[in-house]
Amino acid sequence: MQKSLHIDPGKCTGCLQCESACSLENEGMFNPAKSRIKVFNFHDEGRFVPYTCTQCDEAWCMQACPVDAIVINAETGSKDVLEDVCVGCKVCTIACPFGTINYNTSSGKVVKCDLCGGDPACADACPTQAITYVDANATGLDKMRAWASKTDNATNG
């Protein structure tokens, strides 16, 4: 069973526990600037929205990488950056339409969410369950795939 992150912005309080957990898990320090998930603060609306890599089926980042440093993790389905292969050219950061790949100045490589190998620290740390790790079908992934595969969608938009 493939799983994916499900984000419910309506439950997010802006506590930033997800950012702290992510940076600790991946960088060994509490530093939200190094987190692979970000919480956007919409001040005027009084809302917070967690945002990270959506692990696109047609991952433009992976297709754009000139050295094939982004690969599909067979266990989790995530698109993982192979740090020893990445040359830090940042082409994937340009290719990602969502801006969820970041350049790590310390390593000279890019970083993105890899679902923490199947146990996402952000979901574990979220006190309100605004971020959960669920069966991918529960997020409507199959419905999106079915809709995307229809040939008449371009004209019925």
Each residue's pLDDT tens digit, 139-155: 666 666 676 777 665 55
Residue pLDDT, tens place only, 31-68:
999 999 999 999 999 999 999 999 999 999 999 999 99
CA angle, 124 then 144 then 91, to 5°: 70
Alpha helices, H only, 16-104: 17-27, 60-64, 91-95
Residue 16, classed as helix, strand or coil, is coil
pTM assigned to the model: 0.83
In CATH terms, the fold of domain 1-52+114-146 is: Alpha-Beta Plaits (3.30.70)
For domain 55-112, give its CATH number from 3.40.50.1980, 3.30.300.30, 3.30.70.20, 3.30.200.20: 3.30.70.20
The residue assigned the tokens 């950056």 is: 81
The residue assigned the tokens 């754009």 is: 64
Residue 157 has pLDDT above 80, yes or no: no
Compute the distance between CA of residue 8 and CA of residue 128 in angstroms, rounded to an integer.
10
> Is 128 in contact with 13 (CB distance < 8 Å)?
yes
